[in-house]
Amino acid sequence: MDGSCTDESTTSETLSISISPTSAVSSFPPPTKSPESPLGRVGSGSSVILDSESGVEAESRKLPSSKYKGVVPQPNGRWGAQIYEKHQRVWLGTFNEEDEAARAYDIAAQRFRGRDAITNFKPQGAETEADDIEAAFLNSHSKAEIVDMLRKHTYDDELEQSKRNYKIDGLGKQNRNPGANNVALSGSDRVLKAREQLFEKAVTPSDVGKLNRLVIPKQHAEKHFPLQSGNNSTKGVLLNFEDISGKVWRFRYSYWNSSQSYVLTKGWSRFVKEKNLKAGDIVSFQRSTGPDKQLYIDWKARNGSNPVVCSVQPVQMVRLFGVNIFKAPGGSGVAEGAGGCNGKRMREMELLSLNCIKKQRIIGAL
DNA sequence: CTCTGTGTTGAT
DNA sequence: TCAACACAGAGG
């Protein structure tokens, strides 16, 4: 676990990859002779095929070369994947199927050479949304980590899991310019997701009192939460907001003719109670910039002290490795003495520590 | 023993 | 960079 923390975006990066002990790649049951591919290639593996009759032991022992870039045949009929960087070969593992190896090469190529690297399968100019997510996933892991996943055949699982947890956490706390797009990190694997800050409000005593409602300033309400002219005053609509922990809060949103106010009603008191909101605390609303337009809600205590959990120092966002991450204030002081902390804030601290631990490692490129 | 993945070289 | 080839030595 030494050089496994190297990372960078698109420039040169330290290798220190493959030269590790050979990893155990054993995941195929029978060493049965693999029936050869439908390709009209040469005889299988290195086993020489001496024709029953004529014993021309000529050059019958050639391995079938692959039609895919980065794929090399193995003597036993399997396929190896490799990529070169800095005049050195980086081994990506062995695979039963030729195209599996080709896919492994493609993934490595995108991590090592960037998004428009030449690959075996990916079309050149098509950038889908799924590709965006995968690109973020790739860039949030070091080359060594990606290579390790490929060699262990765990890449697909890791990618899929990261898609699941792409829950994000709070913006708004350290956000200096509301209204701008931001990138946040997920807890365990740092997959990115952009959100747009909509607005914040310091809650009033009545917002957290017995009225069980939050008044949305008209200006923000009409801009971000437009109501259809039909059901305006009456029923309103139900809106779902996700909080930092991934929990979804559903509030009824409507317009009160009596007070000429836009309000969140049903469901709001529960939020106040669970978060232990006090007058003066800040609630902030975000929305995914993606097509889903998912809404998010977050909150913070007025002074930085957190009512429910423990006091927390302000957090600042920094940009590292081309990715925005949060950085803990004092040194790398992470969650060590965090015995008293819990809940959301704790999650955030964990996140911070993870990111702060892996630091830049200078590479002496030549 | 089987099989991976490195050493190495020549081609592009 | 890249793949072809041979085979040392890792692993069961």
Distance A103 CA to C11 C1' (A): 26
- CA A334 from chain center: how many Å? 22
Would you state the pLDDT for residue A162? 84
Does strand C come within 7 Å of the CB of A1? Answer: no
* Token pair in block for residue A98: 């030729």
**pTM for this prediction:** 0.46
> What is the per-residue pLDDT for A288?
82
Nucleotides of B under 7 A from a protein CB: 2-8
- How much is the pLDDT for A84? 97
**What pLDDT does A317 receive?**
36
What averages of pLDDT result for each successive group of 10 residues across chain A (366 residues)? 37 41 32 32 35 39 89 95 95 96 97 93 83 87 94 94 62 37 41 73 94 93 79 71 82 89 94 93 86 84 55 34 35 32 37 32 29
Q: For strand B, is any atom closer than 7 Å to the CB of A162?
A: no
Q: What pLDDT is attached to residue A308?
A: 42
A25 touches strand B (CB under 7 A): yes
Confidence (pLDDT) at A169:
40
Distance CA A338, CA A317 (A): 21
Q: Alpha-carbon distance A41 to A33, whole Å? A: 16
Torsion over CA of A30, A33, A37 and A39, rounded to 10 degrees? 160
Report how far Cα A271 is from the mean position of its chain's Cα atoms.
28
CB within 7 A of strand C (chain A, 84-103) = 84-87, 89
Domains of chain A: 71-123+130-168 (3.30.730.10), 195-300 (2.40.330.10)
Across all strands, nucleotide nearest A84 (CA–C1'): C1
Q: Give pLDDT, residue A61.
A: 64
Q: Round to a whole number and report the distance in Å from the CA of A25 to the C1' of B7.
A: 21
Separation of A38 CA and B2 C1' (Å): 25
The predicted structure's pLDDT at residue A54: 34
**Nucleotides of strand C lying closer than 7 angstroms to a protein CB:** 1-7, 10-12
The confidence score (pLDDT) of residue A7 equals 40
Q: What is the reported pLDDT for A102?
A: 97
| Nearest one of A245, A353, A248, A240 to A308, comparing CA atoms | A245
Residue A344, amino acid: K
Return d(Cα A24, Cα A26) in angstroms, integer.
6
How confident is the model at residue A14, as a pLDDT? 43
